[in-house]
Structure 1
């Protein structure tokens, strides 16, 4: 029997979520992987979302190769295909699929990557095992995940700590692990990679300019009350409407602080098969 995803995606694909996802590029979200790429590689991007990283990789890093973006939420693939068409990128395709049971044969891809996927799934080890299976011998499995326990902001604003606490509780109620970044190397070993085959790293996103702060605080304020996060928080009992509203207001207050600064920690792994 084929496995299917058992967790609920905490964020969903509300416009406030996609504003964040569409900001992502190969440079700001996959820099750790770029030195390993060759122009003619065949790549699978698991959980590609709106496809901005996928299209960037296809156009600028594997121009003689091909990249397939795989996504469990079919609706967002319309946006991904439109982006590829708009950019005139033809060495890319997008398919609906479940990473728990990939339909590809063993040893198919030179590189299999995922970005901000494993923190949201029920069985991250199983997905890494599937990614390993479809990677060629000598190929690469790569993953980058944020770690909410490593989110740091300044200045302290009343309500922000509470937002983080119930975000984490809600993500776990949905079946995920918000502190995924620090666990990647352990999950990779459990998926069958030897310790010697795993290269660990970390990097951050940092928001500090007036424009960046307004964008980051605004999308999180809206996401907290309008995305699937709000719906599942109420359903799971990890947040009430009042608590969600207070968290959104905390994000807005923080975003108005003249000295506002925010750093998002990510764990990264490169695994050789």
Structure 2
């Protein structure tokens, strides 16, 4: 995910194993299908908030005659991103540190500027969109953004409810904008796009099989106990250690429930620059 180096950093997570595990799972197929029809093999793409590079590398495979640049606010995950690109035999992707509020590229540089689960973590999402719009090419350049909007799960669980209450409150205290997917099109208009230039859609992740529950719930269980999430929760007086342990236990209970089901609804926008 990407944040500003000139604006306050408001990311309530870190780049620990549990966090990068969920980021590395993301691909074009499960996180950017709404963008896929617009991609052509010769295009240049900026992937803002690239994390460990799983979506970035996928995008690069779709533009063999083009190039992809992935940027992050910190260098922490970029070594893994470069290693992953090399392992995949991808040579048209590069990774660098960048500031979403002040992108280090000239106007009208990229055919597509993409961000996935990024705006919810930046200090000024409208300014971020202005910058993304600026570096899009004129006459048909595309800005594509996807953000979570809602979390749903079965069975009901006070522990999972408490986890998301803490995560949401933590994000707001840090100055971020948790789960803004339902109003991305409004932010895009504030950033300078006309409503007629914006196409809205939605998509979802669903975790229900034993393997999916183990992946999603396991990463959340680990995050609850050992990532910066736990440190922030206690430092901000949002949860005690005992409460964090209860949340982790709730994730384990959900993983082991054959009827366990979890879905994340996302809002998506495609904005065309004229």
Greater displacement, 223-232 / 106-115: 223-232
2:121 is equivalent to residue 101 of structure 1: no
Encode CA deviations 1:108-165: one digit per residue, 9 max, x unaligned: 1110010010011111111000000111112001101112xx2111111231211111
Query: Which residue is equivalent to 1:156?
Result: 156
Query: Which residue is equivalent to 2:127?
Result: 126
CA distance in 2, matches of 1:3, 1:261: 38
CA distance in 1, matches of 2:76, 2:121: 18
Give secondary structure in 2 for the equivalent of 1:164.
helix
Large movers: runs of 4+ above 4 Å:
none
Structure 2 gaps of 5+ residues are none
The question of whether the paired residues in 1 share the 8 Å contact of 2:5 and 2:73 is answered with no
Give secondary structure in 1 for the equivalent of 2:77.
helix
CA distance in 1, matches of 2:54, 2:87: 12
CA distance in 1, matches of 2:232, 2:8: 15
Distance apart, 1:22 and its partner CA = 0.8
Instruction: Note closer, same or farther for the CA distance 1:10–1:192 as it changes in structure 2 (3 Å cut).
Output: same
Distance apart, 1:7 and its partner CA = 3.3
The question of whether the paired residues in 2 share the 8 Å contact of 1:73 and 1:96 is answered with yes
10, 13, 34: which is aligned to 1:11?
Answer: 13
CA distance in 2, matches of 1:230, 1:170: 11
CA distance in 1, matches of 2:141, 2:215: 37
Query: Which residue is equivalent to 2:49?
Result: 47
Query: Which residue is equivalent to 1:65?
Result: 66
The question of whether the paired residues in 2 share the 8 Å contact of 1:7 and 1:176 is answered with no
Give secondary structure in 1 for the equivalent of 2:55.
helix
CA distance in 2, matches of 1:181, 1:7: 20
2:93 is equivalent to residue 92 of structure 1: yes
Distance apart, 1:3 and its partner CA = 6.8
Greater displacement, 228-237 / 210-219: 228-237
Give secondary structure in 1 for the equivalent of 2:76.
helix
CA distance in 2, matches of 1:235, 1:199: 41
The question of whether the paired residues in 1 share the 8 Å contact of 2:13 and 2:229 is answered with yes
Matches within 5 A, 1:25-40: 25-40=27-42
CA distance in 1, matches of 2:259, 2:192: 45
Matches within 5 A, 1:137-176: 137=138, 138-147=140-149, 150-176=150-176
Distance apart, 1:9 and its partner CA = 1.3
RMSD: 1.3
Distance apart, 1:238 and its partner CA = 2.1
Give secondary structure in 2 for the equivalent of 1:68.
strand
2:272 is equivalent to residue 272 of structure 1: yes
The question of whether the paired residues in 1 share the 8 Å contact of 2:121 and 2:178 is answered with yes
Instruction: Note closer, same or farther for the CA distance 1:3–1:69 as it changes in structure 2 (3 Å cut).
Output: closer
The question of whether the paired residues in 2 share the 8 Å contact of 1:174 and 1:232 is answered with no
Query: Which residue is equivalent to 1:248?
Result: 248
CA distance in 2, matches of 1:265, 1:5: 28
What TM-score, normalized to structure 1? 0.95
Encode CA deviations 1:40-90: one digit per residue, 9 max, x unaligned: 00110000000010001101x111100000111202100000011111111
